[in-house]
Amino acid sequence: MPAWAAALADGDPAGLPRLAQALQDYHDVALASCWDVVSAQVDADLGMRTQVLLHGGVDALLTGLRPKVHWAAPVLETDDRIAGTLSSEGTGLLLVPTYFSVGPVLVPPFSGGTPRLHYPCVRQAAQPAGLTGPGARRVLGNALADLLGPTRAAALAVLAVGCSTSELAARLGVTPSAVSKHTAVLRRAGLIITHRERNTVLHSLTPLGSALLEG
């Protein structure tokens, strides 16, 4: 450990500017090129979790965090390899999707705040990590070419508020099997994210889908 870092651990703030610069340098080298993809994936996960909460309530939301998070009301267990018990004491629980983590991390509250559960977000295959710039635009452009047609355009508009496969079929006046084909195209294009909750399949827009819908 460098001397300036050791001093920080001892409470000396003199090394803070150096730490801030080191973090900025790391961001520029390792994260800046893929940050748009990371942000879009995290936003899509938040949208999907919101739909799960609206359709199935808190039980469905917390159950959907499996396999490394286990919900059996009123106890939430995580596979974070940190022994101990934490009570929220009525303060709730803040769910924080993360892109680079491989498992959940439960963070205790500080100064009477809310405990946080950091969990790996659901990733979409349509936009691999690190694919940005002209290459990403070519991939998305090719996929978006499949979207021509009134039914998929109508489906995209309906999914602005999110819904299940059966609900979308009813709104569009088509069969659930036809909806599944249309949503598969939308999903490959990176416009929607799909999540299965027990016997229900829920769809919601990604940030890219929202941007396309808004023109």
Same domain membership, residue 111 and residue 139: no
Q: What is the CATH number of the domain that holds 155?
A: 1.10.10.10
Same domain membership, residue 99 and residue 146: no
- The stretch 37-53 carries a mean pLDDT of 83
Same domain membership, residue 176 and residue 99: no
Is 49 within a domain? yes
- Its domain, for residue 152, covers 133-214
Same domain membership, residue 142 and residue 82: no
- The stretch 114-125 carries a mean pLDDT of 82
Final residue before a domain boundary, out of 120, 149, 184: 120
Is residue 11 predicted with pLDDT exceeding 50? yes
Highest mean pLDDT among 57-66, 100-109, 169-178: 169-178
Total domains in the fold of the chain: 2
Q: How far is CA 60 from the centre of its chain?
A: 16
Is 151 within a domain? yes
Is 126 within a domain? no
Final residue before a domain boundary, out of 120, 142, 159: 120
Q: What is the pTM of this model?
A: 0.62
Is 100 within a domain? yes
Final residue before a domain boundary, out of 120, 155, 179: 120
Same domain membership, residue 45 and residue 112: yes
Long-range CB contacts for residues 89-95, cutoff 8 Å, separation at least 24: 91/115, 93/117, 95/49, 95/61, 95/65, 95/119
Is residue 149 predicted with pLDDT exceeding 90? no
Q: Please give the mean pLDDT across all residues of the chain.
A: 81
